[in-house]
């Protein structure tokens, strides 16, 4: 009688770098971990160079950490000659080569990879198992179950349930202070002479990785300082960034959450999205740390700052993931407004006279980062007003940001920003004229265009495009109770004024690459 020794292959994806996962709590010589740099992942979007580097650097450091803990690790470099450049093909080859008898993987966060690994595992002649990533605070199906039979998926309802379930900022069954949400206090513009905290950045040397990327002709966008790569690529650096955030930024996080200013690329934002999305740190430890800091410094950190931050993480982040798993794959095809236009060329270069867009795009190209309100109310707002096809908008957001993974990119872009889901994520489209941008930023004062002018020479393009958008989509939007008021204003406008606005918008749309 022959007995086969069990030999297990465990796949770790580039966004599954969670050292606290139960997989790694003891060593087992019969288990081998595989981490791989593959072309399917570098090429499914045109990524920012800092994004590809961030993933590779974090994956390499994680493999090193596992080896130091005496785990067996196979690390496949992009240039390895045996690299078959896809998760399934490499796993198949490893299984044959090393005669593994069992295959395991963690639940992927992206639908595309989930489908791939499911079908791959089902074709295997050996046994397989899939387990949780042990990262998120809700399951894939929790949001769907919570809203079963309901027409609306209100984030606030989900958020309150998460607060209750995890006993976060609660006093028994009630919110700690009697009030759930302090969003209305979090909308301040930066005072004119205010100098924001200088962001903590790292100085990682990523020369080797950049050389590989160039040698293999991976097509990227944006720029990078190879000797001083700014993003955290290890758990230790992620924790350092978290500590910096709670110490320096949390006290004003909520107050200036929606503020924007030229050359201020991150203000009081945490820049923890990459670390969290690749699972170097967990949402639970991030909010625990923030709550502890607030408890230690009650006179310096007001409650609204803390609640605003906690809401982004256990509210919005988990909510978007729940929507993703409830609505994919159909979600990626939604185009409520039937928009068809292409993204202006200057989204890829930053070469526009519109100050707000120039600043948001150039900093995205320089840092692979823009904060939420820049993504939503500058680049997203313009793309929606300009009638750009959601596929084009998604491709840009999925490539350019360090934290872009489809589960959280598409729900924010197609959903929150482009309203292409017809109102699953948001209750109304996030569009604005120059009035809002000027209220929240310091962009307009030095702009080529005039924020106060709607038509004619140097009129701010946001102004006419805004009314053009409402006019174009009246049948879809006029009945929305949150927008009805805008249509009353539009209908009361003099016909000549309306015509002039629509003609101005038409001119700008025709010459969009020259704006």
Q: Is 373 in the site for ligand SF4 (CB under 6 A)?
A: no
Site string for ligand DLZ, 27-56 (x = CB under 6 A): ---------xxx--xx----x----x--x-
The interface with ligand SF4 within residues 453-472 (CB under 6 A) comprises 460, 462
From 164-172, 384-392, 399-407, 453-461, span contacting ligand FAD (CB under 6 A): 399-407
Picking from 76, 39, 398, 401, the residue whose alpha carbon sits closest to that of residue 217 is 39
The residue with tokens 């009650």 is 298
Interaction between residue 188 and ligand FAD (CB under 6 A): no
Query: H helices of 413-480, where?
Result: 434-440, 461-472, 474-477
The contact pattern for ligand DLZ, residues 435-474, with x = CB under 6 A and - = no contact, is ----------------------------------------
What CA–CA distance (Å, rounded) separates 168 from 160?
10
- Neighbouring CB atoms inside 10 A of 123's CB total 9
CB of 474 to ligand DLZ, least distance (A): 39
Which of ligand FAD, ligand DLZ, ligand SF4, none does 466 bind, CB closer than 5 to 8 A by kind?
none
Residues 64, 59: Cα–Cα separation, whole Å: 9
Q: Are 284 and 167 in contact (CB under 8 A)?
A: no
The nearer residue to ligand DLZ, 89 or 289, going by C-beta atoms, is 89
Three-class SS state of 199: coil
Selected from 60, 71, 135, 371, the binder of ligand FAD by CB under 6 A is 371
- Closest to ligand FAD by CB, 423 or 455: 423
Give the C-alpha distances (Å, rounded to integers) separating 482 from 139, 295, 474, 479: 32, 38, 13, 9
Rounded CA separation 117/106 (Å): 10
Residues 416-435 that bind ligand SF4 (CB under 6 A): 434
d(CA 372, CA 152): 23
CB 138 within 8 A of CB 322: yes
- Residue 356 interacts, among ligand DLZ, ligand SF4, ligand FAD, none and using kind-specific CB cut-offs from 5 to 8 Å, with ligand SF4
Least Å distance, CB 391 to ligand DLZ, is 18
Site string for ligand FAD, 284-313 (x = CB under 6 A): ----------------------------xx
In the 8-state DSSP scheme, what is residue 342?
A: P
H-state helical runs in 302-433: 303-310, 318-327, 355-367, 372-374, 381-385, 390-400, 406-410
Q: Looking at beta carbons only, is 308 or 461 nearer to ligand SF4?
A: 461
Smallest distance from the beta carbon of 177 to ligand DLZ, in angstroms?
37
Tell me: does residue 397 bind ligand FAD (CB under 6 A): yes
Q: Tell the smallest beta-carbon distance from residue 427 to ligand DLZ (Å).
A: 29
Which of ligand DLZ, ligand SF4, ligand FAD, none does residue 62 bind (CB under 5 to 8 Å by kind)? none
Is residue 417 a contact residue for ligand FAD (CB under 6 A)? yes
Q: Which of 75, 294, 419, 443 binds ligand SF4 (CB under 6 A)?
A: 443
Q: CB-wise, 212 or 257, nearer to ligand DLZ?
A: 212
Strand order in the sheet with 72-76: 72-76, 31-36, 8-11, 102-106, 127-131
Task: Select from 78, 95, 261, 376 the one that contacts ligand FAD (CB under 6 A).
Answer: 376
Should residue 323 be labelled a site residue for ligand FAD when binding is judged by CB under 6 A? no
Whole-number Cα distances in Å, 35 to 94, 105, 204, 247, 509: 12, 11, 21, 34, 46
Contact 238, 268 (CB under 8 A): no
Rounded alpha-carbon distances, angstroms, from residue 335 to 418, 445, 483: 9, 35, 20
Question: What is the Cα–Cα distance from 419 to 415, expressed in whole angstroms?
Answer: 5
**Contact pattern from residue 251 through residue 270 relative to ligand FAD, giving x for each residue in contact according to CB under 6 A and a dash for the rest:** ------------------xx
Q: Is 151 left (phi over 0), alpha (psi -120 to 50) or beta?
A: alpha
Residue ranges that bind ligand FAD, judged by CB under 6 A? 269-273, 276-277, 312-313, 316-317, 320, 371-372, 375-376, 380, 397, 401, 403-404, 408-409, 412-413, 416-417
Residue ranges that bind ligand SF4, judged by CB under 6 A? 354-356, 434, 437-438, 443-444, 447, 449, 451, 460, 462
């Amino acid at each position: 009688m022959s007995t086969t020794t069990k030999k297990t292959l465990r796949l770790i994806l580039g966004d599954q770098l969670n050292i606290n996962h139960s997989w790694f709590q003891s060593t087992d010589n019969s288990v081998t971990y595989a981490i791989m740099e593959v072309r399917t992942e570098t090429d499914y979007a045109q990524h920012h160079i800092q994004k590809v580097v961030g993933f590779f650097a974090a994956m390499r450091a994680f493999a090193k950490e596992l080896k130091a803990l005496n785990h067996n690790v196979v690390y496949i470099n992009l240039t390895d000659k045996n690299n078959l450049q896809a998760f399934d093909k490499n796993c198949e080859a490893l299984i044959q080569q090393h005669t593994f008898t069992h295959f395991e993987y963690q639940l992927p966060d992206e639908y595309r990879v989930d489908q791939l690994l499911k079908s791959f595992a089902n074709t295997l002649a050996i046994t397989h198992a899939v387990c949780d990533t042990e990262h998120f605070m809700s399951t894939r199906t929790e949001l769907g179950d919570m809203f079963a039979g309901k027409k609306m998926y209100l984030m606030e309802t989900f958020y309150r349930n998460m607060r209750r379930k995890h006993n976060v900022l609660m006093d028994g069954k009630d919110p700690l202070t009697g009030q759930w949400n302090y969003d209305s206090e979090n909308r301040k513009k930066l005072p004119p002479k205010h100098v924001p905290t200088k962001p903590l950045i790292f100085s990682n040397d990523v020369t080797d990785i950049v050389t590989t990327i160039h040698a293999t002709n991976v097509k990227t966008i944006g720029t990078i300082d190879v000797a001083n790569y700014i993003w955290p690529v290890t758990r230790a650096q992620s924790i350092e960034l978290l500590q910096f955030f709670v110490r320096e930024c949390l006290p004003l996080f909520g107050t200036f959450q929606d503020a924007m200013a030229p050359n201020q690329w991150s203000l009081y934002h945490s820049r923890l999205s990459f670390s969290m999305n690749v699972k170097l740190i967990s949402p639970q430890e991030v909010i625990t740390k923030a709550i502890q800091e607030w408890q230690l410094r009650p006179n310096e950190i007001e409650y609204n700052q803390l609640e605003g931050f906690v809401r982004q993480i256990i509210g919005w982040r988990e909510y978007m993931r729940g929507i993703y798993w409830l609505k994919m794959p159909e979600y990626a095809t939604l185009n409520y407004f039937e928009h068809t236009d292409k993204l202006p060329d200057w989204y890829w270069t930053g070469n526009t006279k519109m100050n707000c867009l120039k600043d948001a795009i150039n900093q995205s190209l320089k840092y692979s980062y823009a904060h939420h309100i820049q993504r939503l109310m500058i680049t997203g707002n313009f793309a929606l007003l300009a009638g750009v096809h959601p596929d084009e908008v998604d491709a840009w957001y999925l490539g350019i940001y360090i934290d872009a993974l489809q589960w959280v990119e598409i729900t924010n872009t197609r959903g929150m920003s482009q309203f292409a889901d017809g109102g699953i994520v948001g209750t109304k489209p996030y569009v604005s004229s120059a009035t809002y941008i000027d209220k929240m930023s310091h962009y307009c004062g030095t702009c080529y265009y005039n924020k106060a002018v709607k038509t004619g020479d140097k009129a701010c393009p946001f102004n006419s495009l805004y009314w053009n958008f409402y006019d174009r989509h009246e049948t879809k939007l006029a009945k929305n109770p949150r927008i009805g008021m805008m249509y009353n204003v539009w209908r009361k406008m003099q016909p000549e004024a309306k015509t002039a606005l629509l003609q101005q918008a038409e001119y700008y749309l025709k010459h969009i690459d020259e704006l």
